[in-house]
Structure 1
């Protein structure tokens, strides 16, 4: 009898659909009397309703051509979700969500998934995880403009949400937010955290936490440039050599927080909502920082033959498949840089711990190929540096992550395609060095100068070392730190700063930045350290022998060579395959592309033979090279003159002064 009644109900629903009596179908399940009569039969026909009516009808074509029919089947699908077998219907919904072709289809099946997950409760968290993963999979499959991954500037970021594909992406995120709110409230009400040790196993609360954090990852993370705080330095502004108080360095972050309630973009609203909800589930927003260090420093050795798989870990937050480090990095970027840290956050965490733990996340973000993620890594690093109240001790450098971080940061600073990214990278590198105590500053600068190949950064770091020593020289009533005088000062200057890589044969144009910085160092110390507090005057003879004498010869040789070549070109001697011209063309191409992959040899290398260029272009390249060499020679003469003048002055000051003595006559 019950089977017959259920079959009759199924035929009635189909008949009403054929007659387009949509109100009649609504009455079957929303009228109290009819619902009480029909509800007992729905479990028997739920999958038939889905397979015969909902699945074939919920298409983009129906949504466009027959919106009332689509809306009716959408409501019917939600009713089916209340009575269909959970496991079987979950599989159907997961497949449909991943394959959805529009926001309308996605929303319809997501509403049904919401009902199913509410019915599921906290049982079978693995099934809940699979369902939520299908939502993340669909988001990652959505098309985005190519420039979002390739990188864009601040002006483009202002118009980002006007792009149709990004509008669709944000519509998906907003739909997801609306659908998971009932689930979130149910979890917060019933899935309470244990008062003792935190339960990190596979349960509904932890699965949902990982899901929210994954939503902060790509593709949403690629849109974070629309929420950029004002740089601490304007273009062309020289950074100071003093560490500012945290309240000064954080002024722009605080301004961003003051504006948080006004004129937010959709990206900002979504990020704020996801971050706040994830923080509610975590309780302690800093909890994941300690786990990040565990994942980076003590990786588990997986051995399937011994039954050791990643999924056998009892801590769900340590599994990269469930919680990628990029997602954790974007969470802390949103919470710290975006000033979304709740007022109830624990105050016990030391700034040094936050700096060291977040450095792993910064390194991960900087190693990503997408410039927006690199921007986020730099801004996160800038923030954690700004909250340091004491110099970072040298012992912190024992962590391997500092080397990994410096490699990624210098690569971005030297070779990133966006100027804003390179400028921000240089600013962060400057603040990073200044954040440490003096011994650590010396250690960082010396190692970077020893290992870096980018001449521009090497020149900048040499100037930074000079500026740091200058700060201490200005404190005449205090002794110099050990690392800025004596043997360590000598080692820095002779091995890292005042260096001519290949003696007289050095390519001066390739190393022009570092050579110019070395000459400026030699112009500064004779004037600022006439008392020889650093020991500069003791090592000056070696500097003259290793740098100044061969550099003078190399400058004369290079200028004569380039000028002779220019005369040959003026006389009509086409020589595009000449070794010198080929090298200049390769250098020009490197400067334009910012690839940083110039050939070390005399020209062609792996890049092939560059096309021939005209006479005027050759002369222009040669004129630029000659101008660069002449500028370098001017600095060379200034440095030599400064050394000579101050050396003579020191000799005069050290000579004994003859005194007239009155001698009594006998």
Structure 2
């Protein structure tokens, strides 16, 4: 027992000494005037206070801070305790009493300390937090930071802006939970933290509202501008990335709640409707601070696109939206945002772009969109971006949806608009499957033109002949890769077959009969030559492969083959033969349709000659 006492006494006296040291510093400083405090006093106070916290004497430190006699000392020196205090709060996670004392000390410091000094101390702690502790640190310090900011008068707006920027800088590197499980787990606390930050801004939003209510000519824009900057950042992160559909089993979706709060702030500060109709390139005229305007012009495109998605797809704030605009005008306003989203490669952003495009189109009646809209750059760029999603996106459901939306877009245009859009896509898509799809649409429009009583000048006569010049030809003549262009070629042959059957030479409504010689020269003859060349090439390849197979020790020898200019993955000889036979089958199919078309043309011409004779 004696040995135990001998060992434990120094440790006990050391911890008691930490409290005693703090008391000694306090007593010495109590008799000094505020102006007489020296740097040494600040250092000694910080060391002793830190020692008390680390040794578990937070209760004694709290008593010192709460003592009215120490008010001046704490006001000047207390901010030095922020760093050790934050460390200890995280250290004492499992020790409720000690943690509770530390939290009370933090609240007391927020009430008593010099606001300017404490503000800098709090920001420093937020800046130093990273990774898994970023959200926890931000949530811990939001309340004292709010208390301090509300005390600041001259530089409140600037300090709020600095705080929000620092917080968002710490959160932005964190991955946004996307799946239902990730949102429910919220491992890093991002969902909870985002909503806590919105609550943090509410007193400042209320201050802006009160100031605007006092005067319709409220000119103090600084606080309002900082809140607006914050909302724009939140729209870009996390909301642009977040999954915002309702999820079964999640009663209150944290990001949907966050989105609602951001929309409410924008509405309260009277910026929601102006932003919805604000083109990101003209944003500079919206800001009082020109330097900020220049920065925001570059970074606002994603934020404004997300805002439009929230309003027109998820219907956040839609009750505030004036229902006086035509569907075509709303589409025009949103085309810039749709273009921004469709140029992204992330699934969350691409899907938002497709949803926004679809939502705008579904508001419109078919054939109601005037062809003049195609004179606007966005109305040409967006369908081209849509084609890229259809052909390049690795996510199947997005490819399928983009095809569905392209058809919606086509359906909404008037006849002249459809004609102009078809010409544009045939020239720019550079994809045989898309070209085949457009040619099928052209066939459908010709059919409507021939079966309706009203005249349609765009899909009959000389306008149609001009369009057929783009359709009924081989891109590189007889040298065209027929396998790669098979979708386009089959669609073109089916269109020509339809025209020959449906349009009598005596009527010649489509003009196909007057341009038949040109079609034969540019399309049918080169196709014959190309088919003969391609079939001969592939038959020779098949013969070579079979000979090589016999010579090889095993039919499972792995090698490579090039089809349509693309090197295929390594495959056995048997697999290569299957590919080559499949190509030959495609050529046979094209050849059979070509023969049928030529047969129909010959029959029609012979019938006319018999009538004339």
Secondary structure of 1:534 counterpart? coil
Aligned to 2:263: 275
Q: How does 1:170-569 map to 2 (within 5 A)?
A: 170-192=191-213, 195=216, 203-224=222-243, 226=245, 263-292=251-280, 294-295=282-283, 313-314=289-290, 319-320=295-296, 324-388=300-364, 391-476=368-453, 478-480=454-456, 482-494=457-469, 496-530=470-504, 531-569=507-545
Residue by residue, what CA displacement relative to the aligned partner does 1:128-152 show, whole Å, maximum 9, x if unpaired? 222111121112111468xx7xxxx
Rounded Cα–Cα distance in structure 2 between residues aligned with 1:587 and 1:650: 47
Which structure has the greater CA radius of gyration? 2
Aligned to 1:614: 572
Shift, 1:13, TM fit: 7.3
1:345-391 Cα offsets, whole Å, 9 max, x none, are: 22333433322221111111112231221111111111122223573
- Distance in 1, matches of 2:182 and 2:502, equals 51
What are the superposed Cα offsets for residues 146-171 of structure 1, whole Å, 9 maximum, x if unpaired?
xx7xxxxxxxx454435655x63323
Q: Secondary structure at the match of 1:360?
A: helix
Structure 1 position 629, deviation (Å): 2.1
Q: Is structure 2 residue 140 aligned with structure 1 residue 127?
A: no
Answer yes or no: is 1:44 the counterpart of 2:62. no
User: How many angstroms does 1:427 deviate by?
Assistant: 1.8
Distance verdict in 2 for CA 1:41–1:644, change over 3 Å: farther
Find the aligned partners of 1:554 and 1:424 in 2 and give their Cα distance.
Answer: 35
Bigger RCO (CA 8 Å, 6+ sep):
1
- 1:262-309: per-residue Cα shift (whole Å, max 9, x none)? 8453333333333333333335435442343525xxx89xxxxxxxxx
| Residue 520 (structure 1) shift | 1.7
Alignment match of 2:110 (pick from 69, 74, 81)? 81
Shift of 1:211: 0.9
Map 1:7-156 to 2 at 5 A.
20=56, 42-51=74-83, 53-58=84-89, 60=90, 62-64=91-93, 66-100=95-129, 101-102=132-133, 103-120=135-152, 123-143=155-175
Verify: 1:168 aligned to 2:189, yes or no: yes
Is the alpha carbon distance of 1:447 and 1:143 closer, same or farther for their aligned partners in structure 2, counting shifts above 3 Å?
closer
Q: Distance in 1 between matches of 2:214 and 2:580?
A: 71
In the alignment of these two chains, the number of paired residues is 565
Is there any run of 5+ residues in structure 2 with no aligned partner, and where?
1-26, 553-558
Pick closer, same or farther for the CA change 1:175–1:536 going to 2, 3 Å: same
1:587 correspondence with 2:566: yes
Residue 323 (structure 1) shift: 5.2
User: What's the CA shift string for 1:570-625, capped at 9, x where partnerless?
Assistant: 122689xxxx9743186365xxxxxxxxxxxxxxxxxxxx76x4211221221222
Which piece of structure 1 moves more, 183-192 or 564-573?
Answer: 183-192
Give the alignment's TM-score, normalised by structure 2. Answer: 0.80
State how far apart, in whole Å, the 1-side matches of 2:300 and 2:534 are. 53
Quote the Cα distance in structure 2 between the aligned partners of 1:520 and 1:130. Answer: 65
Structure-1 separation of matches of 2:272 and 2:214? 11
CA contact under 8 A between 2:440 and 2:495: conserved in structure 1?
yes
5+ residue gaps, structure 1, are: 149-156, 229-258, 301-309, 590-609, 657-666
Superposed CA deviations along residues 162-205 of structure 1, whole A, max 9, x for unmatched, are: 5655x633232233233333433343333559646x97x95212
Query: How high is the TM-score relative to the length of structure 1?
Result: 0.74
- Work out whether residues 142 and 200 of structure 2, in 8 Å CA contact, stay in contact via their aligned partners in 1: yes
